[in-house]
A and B are shown apart, each in its own frame.
Chain A
Amino acid sequence: MTEHMSHESLMRYLDGEAAPEERARIDALVAESTELQRDLVLFRSMKNDLQSMTFGLARDRSVWGTVHRRITRPLGWILLSVGFLTWILYGSYLYIVSAIDAWEKLATSAIGLGILLLLGTVIYERRKEWLTDPYRNVYR
């Protein structure tokens, strides 16, 4: 690049972002330099080809459906969890204050606790496995 024109000026000139006085000054410099003229021809050609480039992209499917599902899913989980927890607590309260024998309550509670413990263990192991999975970022 010449002493009188920086790379930045040349780019602004090429991209139509130069002020009128800067443009006039560069016009004069370009007229005098074959090197600049050669650079401009190449850069303009690249510019035109890049700008006119299109891809055979299928645009028949919007991503809105997936995005909508993903942004509304957390709300669904919250509502489901709150409702489920409320019913569990209320059911447990009714069960505790009911008039059935103590051994029946203990046996049923043991079954309930056993299921919860098994579920918790499975979730813990699956999470641990996922965290150490070297291929978890690979799209299948």
Chain B
Amino acid sequence: MQPEVEREAVRMSKSGDARSYEPLVRAYEGPGLRLAVDMLGSVDEATDALQDAFIKVWESLHRFDITRPFGPWFFQILRNQCRDVIRSRQSRERHEVRDEQIEVRPAGSLSNPARIHERTEASAILWRALNRIADEHREILVLKELQGFRYSEIADILGIPEGTVASRLYHARDGLREALVSMNAEYP
């Protein structure tokens, strides 16, 4: 969505026009679902969290500064929503609720079957290792690698300085390395 179009849709939505909110929802539901699935590991929970986040965004639009980009603000609310879901799972083990049915596979146009199999295995190992690291580490890896945000955008979403983004990314990657070692996984 073009920034001007997005700003206009936000402005109209802010004035209470629900129809103008539709293009914003449709533009952000794909990346939003992806982020929620990455954080929660369950498609059903991710869909619920996504819907709740869109409702919260709608209810908070009157406080939104229209000169700021909408994306980071939306992802910040979605991320908080996902964290609430994670907190509400207190009595359950995270691994129990993570959706084993999610099919993880490498993207792109690999043509060699052996290579495809190898990368699919590597992706599946990494997905399992991601489930073993701390929530805040998984969250920052998801924002950086799976969502492709730059440091400045991650800093905006998480409300931390860019230096902390770099430092937390190091600890997240190091944690992922340790998780792979503890799984005795052959990686890369």
Contact = CB atoms under 8 A, between A and B. Distances in A.
A63 B25 contact: yes
Interface string B16-45: 001001100110011001100100000111
Interface in A1-40: 7-12, 15, 17
A63 B167 CA distance: 36
Interface in B85-114: 88, 102-108
Nearest to B25: A64
Given A43-B173, A63-B50, A67-B51, A7 B166 contact: yes
B170 A10 contact: yes
Contacts of A63: 25, 29, 33, 47, 50-51, 54
A51 interface: yes
A71 B21 contact: yes
A9 B151 CA distance: 13
B126 interface: yes
A64 to B, nearest CB: 5
Contacts of B187: 45
Interface string A37-65: 00001110111011111111101001110
Main secondary structure of the interface of B (DSSP, over half): helix
B55 interface: yes
Contacts of A68: 18, 21-22
Contacts of A59: 30, 33
Nearest to A7: B170
B169 A11 contact: yes
Contact-residue bracket for chain A: 35 or more
Given A70-B51, A71-B55, A139-B44, A54 B106 contact: yes
B20 to A, nearest CB: 12
B83 interface: no
B69 interface: no
Contact of B107 (A10, A52, A70, A72): A52
Interface string B107-144: 11000000000010011001100000000000001001
A63 B21 CA distance: 12
A137 interface: yes
Given A8-B163, A8-B166, A64-B29, A54 B48 contact: no
Interface of A: 7-12, 15, 17, 41-43, 45-47, 49-57, 59, 62-64, 66-68, 70-72, 137, 139
Nearest 4 pairs of A and B residues by beta carbon: A56-B103, A7-B170, A45-B188, A50-B145
